Structure formats: C-alpha cells, structure tokens
Amino acid sequence: MLKSAILLLLVFVLLARLEVSVLDTNGKEYHKSTNAYLTGRSTLADPNHMTHEYGNSLLTRANSIAIDFINPMPFLPGNSVSAGFGEHNLQSPNNNFTTKGSITILSTLIHTRKLLPNSIFMITPNPYTLKDSLIVSDNDPQKDSSQTFGIIVLKNVRFSSYLINETHTSPGYGPVLMKARISVHSTAKDPLVIVENRDLSKPFVGLAKVSAPYLNESSFAAFTSRDATVGGKSVTKVNDLPSTVIFSPLNAAQNNVEELNNTLLPQVDLNGTIAPSDSTPKIFSELKMPVYPAPVKDIASNVTYISPVFTINQRGLESNNFTLTPIIAKVFPGMVLLLNPNAGIASKIASLKSVQMQFEKNSTNIGLSFALSNTIPDTLKLPSSPANPLLMFMNVGYLGVESGTTPVNFSNPSFFKTSPVIHLLVSKHIPVIIKRLSDGCPSVELFALNEAYKRWEPSIEPDREPTLDHSDWCGYSLHTQHFSKFAVGGIKQSSSLNSER
C-alpha cells in the first residue's frame, strides 16, 4: 500500500507541474507536457544574428489548443494511473522494456477540449506482428486497453515505426491530416498521438497543428551522427522534430502574408557538409529526411502549410548553407507552401527571408532544397555571373512525383497556380558602387538560367517591399515563375552574359 501511495503521489506531483489539461467528454482530464516550441517574430540587425521575440505571434494569438507545440508526457511504465484514460496499465511490469512499448491515440475536436468517440484507426504495420495492418476501434474489448471513449491504448507493442490513419470518425466529423507517423523506440517507448477532427458542417478556418513525424531508426541514426539540433537543442529522441501548422484565412480576400512571413519555427541544423553539386534526391537520401503529414484533400486548397526548415553547410562554402524543406507527403491544387528560414544567409549583404509557392497540380512526397551562396560554385560549371556584385546565387532543387512514378518538374511554370515568390533582404551597405533607388536601397536585378542554352537571362524585375525592411536592410520580392538557378545582383555585366567558366 505504501509503495502504491508513493507512486500515485509521484504521478500527481508530475501532473501538478503541468499547466495544460484537456477535458474529455465526461469532464475528465488528460494532461499534456508544456515542453512547447513557440513561434515568434524575428528581428534582424545582422542577418547572421537572429533573435526571437516570443509570445505575440500569429500562432500564440490563435488561442487554440491545436497549436500547442508539445511532447507527450512519458507515463511511468508499470504504473496504474487514472488521468481520463480509465484504470489500466500502460505497460506490464513483466515487459522487456527494450523491445516493447505502448501507443495511445486520442481523437479530439479541433480547437476544443472535447474527445470524440467511435473512431477507427488503421496502424501499419501491425504493431504486434510487424506485418500487414491492424484495425482497431474505440473501446474494442480485445485490443483497446482504455475504457474511455475517444482514447485508444495499445499495450505491449513492438519497437518500430508506424503510420496511423483514421479510417472512421464520429458522424459529422472528419480528420484534418491524412496520416500520423510515429515510432515506438527506446527514446520514446509510449508515444501519444492526438488526432484532430473538424466539424464537417463548418468551413475549416484558423490554425491546426501538424504534428511532427517521429524519426525512424535510420533517420534517427543519420540525425544523431550529424549532431542535429532543433532550435539549438540536440536531437536525442525520435520525437524531437518541430511541429508546424496549417492555416486557413476567414475568407479568401484575407491577407496574412506579412504575419505568416514573420512566424518562425525552431530550425533543424545538421553538422557536416554536402557538395554544392549534389542533386536534391541525393541530398534527401543521404540525410534520411523525414516525411511530414499532409492536410486532407477537401481543405488543402485553402490552406497555407508552414514548412519547418532544415539546414546543412555546403562543402567548400562552409559559410553558406543548403536550406531544405522536409518531405511533404502530398500537395494539392491551391495549397500554399511557405518556408521561413531563421538564418538563410548567402552573405553579409543578402539573406533569404521566405519562399512562398502555390501549387496547381497534385504531387506526392515533395521536397525542396535552396543552395544559397554569394558565388557560383565552380563545380556546377555554369556561365559567369551576369551581375556585379553578385548578391545571392540560388540553386533551387526539388524532388517528388506528379503521378505514378513521373517526377515533378518545378522548372515548368504550369506546376504553380501563381508565381513562386522569394522574399529577400539586401544590405544598404554594399561596399561597391551600384545603382540606387530613391530610398537609398540597391537597385536589384534577377536573372534565371536558361538550362537548354546554358545562359543567364533577365527575369521579372524584383519588387521593393518596404514592409520587409529592417534597420539597414531592404526587402524585395522575386517572382521567379518557376524553380531553377537564379542570380540576384546589381550592375549587369553585359560582356559576360554568355561566357563559360
């Protein structure tokens, strides 16, 4: 009795330290860790020194439980606890803890604390056999160890990575995301999956959390071997990646671009280098990049998906990096993908602020890489720079499939509903004489590489964006029409447009 009392006291002490609780349909509570990743605005005095002002961002103002960036509370193995789950053991004391764990799935109504009953989930592979799939229903007497409607607990499952798909919901409700990816692992033995659903009688507006995928074993090994960090904190668990959000405005005319462009997520930085000439598929394969879940099709055409940012240095250009998206499981026509680098630095005079693209076609497993530098790497064997000085060279690569096994071709403008927009910051203090605008900012030109003829060609003139200005840094929007290799600079060197290296 004394031992049980001590264990229960320990549990209540742990729960008391948590500030976030969620009520189920019976008024009970389940608790979540407040180990949260917040978003915030970035201030830029020097593009190499980014600071964050937390607590007043688009996400925190949403007043929605959907955007708490949380890690689940690790319940103690073998302890019988009651926290809205009903009485049950999350793990048997006789388990081999190195090979077994548990999976807890909560079906919730988005933007509320309500648990939804009667969901059915498909888990692939079957967590007991690691073959085929397991179908489990809410309160299934043979499989679900929880007696609370809206909560499914699977005990004694194998260590592995799993796809979780909600195949049936409460009448009148539907999922927000297509699938969740988790791992039962020695660093995360008891994952908690919160599956958010929406009321199908109402349009989807506002924010919804996109839970980060758990790393699988090979990705975890790749990330730890490269001393990966998230927001400066080392990756030590398979569930350490940053979550993100999807956002839908209240109406089509609502413009939240400026606010979204100032919403930063914790950045994932990997040590080591990648050759500037490496293809995007090779980079993503070498880094074992994770796959983030996609929104369901019937809301995707109206949402902006804020992508987390991954970086790694370019070999031979260690002061310059690759800025990468993760792999996005699927994109749909009308869906917008937004990338906000915390430190997309090309040089001390230019910095990538954000990239925004709206898709015209369905595509699967999309990933993008932006190799940024203030010089054109010799290994690419490209024509000499068409501008002097060269403020930024961007080599934009991509991967994914359009349908079946047909690769995407983002150098074709038909893949985009509107032109991709790249927001750039350029210092007023460029140490050479160049053309200036009336406000003292540099007159910037954009050139795109014609791959067929291997020559630089002038592209659409960049727009000055004073709303992006900060201190002595000037903002610009580049409408690139497609993705390829781009040069951004000042005075054009007409004599070297077609010269080969």
Distance CA 308, CA 324 (A): 8
176 and 209 in a common domain: no
180 and 212 in a common domain: no
Residue 9 confidence (pLDDT) above 70? no
Distance CA 69, CA 308 (A): 13
**With contact defined as beta carbons under 8 Å apart, do 306 and 274 qualify?**
no
181 and 210 in a common domain: no
Q: Is 81 or 48 the better-scoring residue by pLDDT? A: 48
221 and 177 in a common domain: no
238 and 148 in a common domain: no
The answer to whether residue 59 sits within a structural domain is no
Q: What is the pLDDT of residues 410-461, one digit of tens each?
A: 999 999 999 999 999 999 988 888 889 999 999 999 999 998 899 999 999 9
CATH code of 173's domain: 2.60.40.10
Distance CA 352, CA 309 (A): 12
Residue 257 confidence (pLDDT) above 80? no
The answer to whether residue 60 sits within a structural domain is no
Residue range of the domain that includes 14: 1-32+73-190
Query: Which tokens sit at 14?
Result: 């742990």
Beta bridge partners of 359: 416
Confidence of residue 67 (pLDDT cuts 50, 70, 90): very low
Average pLDDT, the chain: 80
Confidence of residue 485 (pLDDT cuts 50, 70, 90): very high
The answer to whether residue 51 sits within a structural domain is no
156 and 213 in a common domain: no
The answer to whether residue 45 sits within a structural domain is no
DSSP secondary-structure letter at 148?
S
179 and 281 in a common domain: no
Confidence of residue 388 (pLDDT cuts 50, 70, 90): confident
Q: What is the pLDDT of residues 449-480, one digit of tens each?
A: 998 899 999 999 999 999 989 889 999 999 99
DSSP secondary-structure letter at 115?
B
Q: Is 100 or 94 the better-scoring residue by pLDDT? A: 100
Number of domains in the chain: 2
Distance CA 235, CA 442 (A): 40
The answer to whether residue 68 sits within a structural domain is no
Query: Looking up tokens 């080591």, which residue turns up?
Result: 272
